[in-house]
Structure 1
Amino acid sequence: MPPTKSTTGSRTRRARGTTVDKPALSGGAEVSAPPHPSFREALGVWIRIGLLSFGGPAGQIALMHKELVEDRRWISESRFLHALNYCMLLPGPEAQQLATYIGWLLHGTRGGIVAGTLFVLPGFLVICALSAAYALFQRTDWLPNLFFGLKAAVLAIVLEALLRVAGRALKTPFARLLAALAFVCLFFLALPFPLVIAVAGIAGYLAAQSSPDLLQPPAGHRAHAPDKPSVIGDAFADRRRSLGASLGIIIVGALLWAAPFALLPLLPSGPGAFAAIGVFFSKMAVVTFGGAYAVLAYVAQQAVDSYQWLKPGEMLDGLALAETTPGPLVLVLSFVGFLAAFRDTGGLDPLVAGLLGAFLTTWVTFVPCFLWIFLGAPHVERLRANTALSGALAAISAAVVGVILNLAIWFGLHVLFRHVGTLKAGPVSMAWPDPSSIDVWALLLTVAAAFMLFRLGLGIVYTLLVCAVAGFALTAVI
């Protein structure tokens, strides 16, 4: 929403009647602080983000950046990147954790719960419906037609966001070098994601101690929107958390995480496969560094060979379903949980068992994500005043641009080409498309989506809608 400007003084009025100083820009001009959003207003935006969060982490981070930083200015660029840096260090889907973090900043614990839940809920409902259709009819041929144009639009949205975020995060040569090195390590060398992020953090920590200017954001960066607790979240964000409070969060989080296991003995035939589902995906929740792709091969192997929940090839079908729904890509695990319970019902109706399996999988996968945020975010907020540690997070921010570029190229290759393989030569291991498999219609739709976004200035919703309809019509005709 546009800022509310004051015409009589140097203050601007907040939505609830208090006032906030205008931050001064480097050139002497002033920009007024936007009103702090009400909880109801934020609720509508989180619903919107949850419904439109296509395209994997790159597209989801891009969407949140546009909605929260660019359009509404509810959070500053530097604070957005600060939160993203922390989420990149955690196991689990970083985009969902970023939504939880920002929701917590804006409205405390209830804001974090609502933001994180609404980010997952639409995709969870869709993946349950698609999993049920898949289990009953074993057909997903209609999905590519339905989402053909949607993927092209998401690719354009990701590219727009990549340019926007890179322009703000890479203000120094050292930051640009870190971003380039991170991209090379991920795309060309296929190095582990946690290793790349950790090395970037160490480099930033050492650089900030010797020369803070190497990663120091410009003054205008922080003036994009005020960072005062009275505007971004409540004073809860800056309170020192006692050891007792932290232990309380750990206990409550652990109890919620384990709560479904206490109910499993009540099922008609006992825990059965549900216990194995819960334990297996609980372990996955704490090792999913680097997102869903980092663990999909292992999950597929265990689900097919060890547990025999899936048949060979069904994991790829589940990935196709997850890629065409909003929400984190790790929702593919909900597909696995659905089929596992659908085929080992424990005395329940197969569809009911499948839904319970999907819910159990989703619960044990995402509850820890809230725990990591509520436990660590207050401490991370205080690190903003520590030059060396802020330098480490700023370096991670630069590396994240390389991460997003890697994700964007990976996503783009799979949108624009029908066949993408892997090219290996010595230490190089990179995705490589078959040039003859280029999808001309997908390319044209991507160009059209980019034109609508960059030149016509259409919003995300209209661009997605136009491309979805055009894509479905093209596939029907072709």
Structure 2
Amino acid sequence: MTETYPSMRDLTSAFARIGFLSFGGPAAQIALMHRICVEEKRWIDEDRYLHALNYCMLLPGPEAQQLATYIGWLLDGVRGGIVAGLLFVIPGLIVILGLSSLYALYQDTGMVTGLFFGLKAAVLAIVVEALLRIGKRALKTGFHRALAAAAFVALFVFSLPFPLVVLTAAAIGLLQARFRPSGGTDLAPPAGSGPTLGRQFATAIVWIAVWLAPLPLLSLLLPETALPELQAFFSRMALVTFGGAYAVLAYVAQVGVEHYQWLQPGEMLDGLALAETTPGPLVLVLSYVGFLAGFRGSGSFDPLLIGLMGGVLTAWATFVPSFLFIFAGAPYVERLRGNPKVTAALSAITAAVVGVILNLAIWFALHVLFREVANVEFARLGPVAATLPWPIWSSLDLRILLIALVSVVMLFRFHQGVGRTLTVAAILGLLLQFAV
């Protein structure tokens, strides 16, 4: 594939489109970026896309937003990375803040949730398409297919920690390269991409300062509100959120309810439902938590204003570190593209990532198609339990299944674009909602 580099206008347009259409969590978002940046625009080739994805999978925080930032950086430097990373988040942030406002004021978002009813079904088809495309290119040997299968079982059946699965895959890849050297790779780092230690250290300092800048200002100007606690708490959380939103939501819910009393029991589930039906990273549910914390801890200020500030501040604390990790680390990662051992480790991570996407896709499919899913334990290996998510078959939503099948036909048979497929799915969803 021949890579082409876009103008800033084209890059902005494409990532605005991705930001508005990125429903369904990380698997769907990775799929959408792959389809637009690799298949449609041909801005980067498959190997480079997977190389970037592998690095982002190793980082704490929202991997899909980090991937968007990495791709933007590849295409137009720091400016491109900032534009791509922000556009990936801003549409969803605006929607989640609007829904959080409605929730705080009226405690009812059923109508809004219904508006996005059909989009989940279309996302299923997009995820399946991406899984097939990436799997076909990444799993070229029996070794890599076995790694993908093992990663899937480790996550889906044994619920092992995501970082452990990815790091184990990298270690296995290094061992294979040591005992069965492949002779290297024909990939070379891009011209002019070699970083210097001083420059990357300065980059890291700048982004750390940007990330933490609100904390002293809030402590000085708004000490009576919940905002200083929000900034401090979610800045710490940004460094330990390996494995995406689900890895951290239970902890945030517990701390937010029991320690800070930002939320009432059960309100995190309402926020998660909102985040799952809106575009952008699923971890945007944290902005819902920040909104409620600000709204309820506004002191003498207007609750709605402090709530909006709390939602934006939480997003700031959560997403700004992604720019730090990409701009400080990506130049080194690109420089290592020609290293045989690193390539072997990252190709092993690629294989594991296919298993990760399969795990996310099946989890997402079960929870979209069925209203009730139970976790069934069928074996135990010491402290590790083997469980399977098992659908309650009577809870199958035939309307979602119908929209999913229509979306599959549009994508696989008639090769329609993502935007058109999502539009048709949304219209069908509204019609079927009103028909009930």
TM-score range, shorter chain: over 0.9
How far off its partner does 1:129 sit?
Answer: 0.4
**Paired AA for residue 88 in structure 1:** M
How far off its partner does 1:265 sit?
Answer: 4.0
Counterparts of 2:147 and 2:224, CA distance in 1:
49
Output aligned runs, 1:307-386, within 5 Å: 307-386=260-339
Counterparts of 1:340 and 1:464, CA distance in 2:
33
Tell me which residue corresponds to 2:42.
Answer: 73
Stretches of structure 2 lacking an aligned partner (at least 5 in a row): none
Counterparts of 1:265 and 1:437, CA distance in 2:
49
**Paired AA for residue 388 in structure 2:** M
Output aligned runs, 1:16-415, within 5 Å: 33-213=2-182, 229=190, 235-236=191-192, 238-239=193-194, 241-265=195-219, 267=221, 270-415=223-368
Counterparts of 1:34 and 1:430, CA distance in 2:
42
Stretches of structure 1 lacking an aligned partner (at least 5 in a row): 1-30, 230-234
**Identity fraction in percent:** 60
Tell me which residue corresponds to 1:465.
Answer: 423
> Secondary structure at the residue paired with 1:272?
coil
Counterparts of 2:101 and 2:113, CA distance in 1:
18
> Secondary structure at the residue paired with 1:91?
coil
Counterparts of 1:371 and 1:228, CA distance in 2:
21
Counterparts of 2:416 and 2:200, CA distance in 1:
45
Tell me which residue corresponds to 2:394.
Answer: 436
What do the CA deviations read for 1:218-266 (whole angstroms, capped 9, x no partner)? x9xx8xxxx783xxxxx45x22x22211221121111111111132145
Residues 384/34 of structure 1: CA separation in 2 closer, same or farther (3 Å cut): closer
Counterparts of 1:143 and 1:149, CA distance in 2:
12
**Paired AA for residue 302 in structure 1:** V
Counterparts of 1:35 and 1:404, CA distance in 2:
27
Larger Rg: 1
Name which of structure 1's ranges 36-45 and 184-193 shifts more when overlaid on structure 2.
Answer: 36-45
Counterparts of 1:133 and 1:160, CA distance in 2:
35
Counterparts of 1:58 and 1:315, CA distance in 2:
22
Task: Give the TM-score of the pair, scaled to structure 1.
Answer: 0.88
How far off its partner does 1:374 sit?
Answer: 0.7
Tell me which residue corresponds to 1:5.
Answer: none
How far off its partner does 1:271 sit?
Answer: 4.9
What do the CA deviations read for 1:186-242 (whole angstroms, capped 9, x no partner)? 00111110000010000011112222459x88x9xx8xxxx783xxxxx45x22x22
How far off its partner does 1:155 sit?
Answer: 0.6
Query: 1:145, 1:476 within 8 Å by CA — same for their partners in 2?
Result: no
How far off its partner does 1:290 sit?
Answer: 0.2
Tell me which residue corresponds to 1:20.
Answer: none
**Paired AA for residue 5 in structure 2:** H
Counterparts of 2:41 and 2:289, CA distance in 1:
38
> Secondary structure at the residue paired with 2:374?
strand
How far off its partner does 1:35 sit?
Answer: 3.6
Residues 250/64 of structure 1: CA separation in 2 closer, same or farther (3 Å cut): same
What do the CA deviations read for 1:426-449 (whole angstroms, capped 9, x no partner)? 231232211111111111111111
> Secondary structure at the residue paired with 1:171?
coil
Counterparts of 2:363 and 2:216, CA distance in 1:
41
Counterparts of 2:164 and 2:142, CA distance in 1:
22
